Amino acid sequence: MIKSFLKYTFSTLLAAALLYWAIDKSDLRWNDIYLTFQQANYTWVGISLLIALISHIFRALRWEQLLGAMHYYPGTTRTLSAVLIGYFANFLVPRMGEVSRCGSLQKTADIPFEKSFGTVITERIVDLLGLVLLVGLTFLVEWKPIQQFLFPNFKLPSALTLAGLASGAIAILALLWVKKGALLDRWGYFTTNTGIGKKIQGWVLGISSIQEVSNPGKFIIYSIAIWIAYFANTYALFLAFPVSESLGLSAALTVLVMGTFGMATPTQGGIGAYHSLVASALGFYLLPLKEATLLATFFHGTQMALILLLGGLSFLLTLFLPKKHAHVNE
C-alpha cells in the first residue's frame, strides 16, 4: 500500500514538474491557451477525434483476435469498453490501464485476469516493434531537420569507415553462426535460471503466440491500421491551425513518434512529458517554442478530453452490461 502511494505521488509530482517546466520555459499564459482554443478549426479537430476513436476500435478488434486464440469471445462492445477504460485509468494512475482493461473483461465476460493480461503483454511487444520501425522511418525521411536541430556539427563517416564497419559486422555475424550451438545452450540456461532471462523469454513467447490467432494477416493489418490512424489523427490536428498546416506529412510522423514516447513516460496520461517532447519536435521545423508548446497543449488536451469522456461512458456501460461467459471449448 505504501509502495503504491509512493509511486503515485512520484508520478504526480513528475507530471506537475514536467508540465510546469514546459509551460514556464515557453512563457505561456492562460490567455495564450484560451486564444489557441479559439483559433482552432474545429472541423479538423472533430475529424481527428473521429480518427482517434477508429484507432481504439482497431485496437479492440486486434485484442479480440488474441483472446480468440484462447477461445474467449467477449464481443466487440465489451472489448472496446475495456480498452477505453484502460486509457481512462492511465490518466488517473500510470500503468493502471493494462490492469483496468483486464479487470473489466473479467467482470463483463468472465475472462480470467491472468489470461487476458498475457494478451496485453503480447500487444505491448507488438506496439514496441511498431514504434521501433517508426523511429527508423522518421530518421530516414526526416534526418535533415533532426540533424540540424540536434546534431548541427554531425558529418557522415567516410566511405572507408563505413566499409570497415560493414566488414566488422559481417565478421561478428559469421562468428555467431559458428558458435550458435554453444550460444543457444547459454541462452537456454539464461532464460531458465535467471529472472531477467525468464522475462525476456516470456516476451519471445508472447510474440510467437501471434501464430495461434485464427487470421495472422488480419492481426498484422489491424496493427498497421492502428499506427496509420495515430498518424492521420496527428496530421488532422496539424491542419486545424494555420501555423502548422504547412508542416507536411513527415513532420506529423516526427510529432507522432515523439508524442508516443511522451505518452509512455510514467506520468498520468503522459502529462508534461508529452508537452515537452512534442514542442521539441515542432522545434525541428523552426516553429517558435511558444507556438509549439501551445500546439502540444491543444493536441494533448483534446485527446485527454476524448479519453475521459469515452472512458467514463464505458465504465458506466459496464455497470449495466449483463455478464457474459465468453469461453468456448474447442
Q: Which of 15-19, 103-107, 255-259, 320-324 has the lowest mean pLDDT?
A: 15-19
pLDDT (0 to 100) of residue 57:
96
Instruction: Give the mean pLDDT of 58-71.
Output: 90
In this structure, how many other beta carbons lie within 10 angstroms of the beta carbon of residue 73?
A: 17
Helix (H) / strand (E) containing 49: helix 42-68
> Over pLDDT 70: what percentage of the chain?
82
Show Cβ contacts of residue 135 under 8 Å, excluding neighbours closer than 6 positions.
257
Residue 24 placed within a domain: no
Cell output for 44:
479538423
Assess if residue 232 is contained within a domain.
Answer: yes
Query: Contact 227/242 with Cβ under 8 angstroms?
Result: no
**Count: domains in the chain:** 1
Please report whether residue 149 resides in a domain. yes
Instruction: Say if 17 falls within a structural domain.
Output: no
Q: Please answer whether residues 287 and 244 qualify as being in contact, where contact means their C-beta atoms are separated by less than 8 angstroms.
A: yes
> Is residue 127 domain-resident?
yes
Query: In this structure, is residue 13 part of a structural domain?
Result: no
Q: H helices of 142-194, where?
A: 143-150, 159-178, 180-193
Q: What are the grid coordinates assigned to 49, written together?
A: 477525434
* Confidence class for position 55, pLDDT limits 50, 70, 90: very high
Does 15 score more than 70 pLDDT? no
pTM above 0.95, yes or no: no
Q: 286: domain range?
A: 29-320
CA nearest neighbour of 255 among 146, 147, 110:
146
The reply to whether 10 falls in a domain is: no
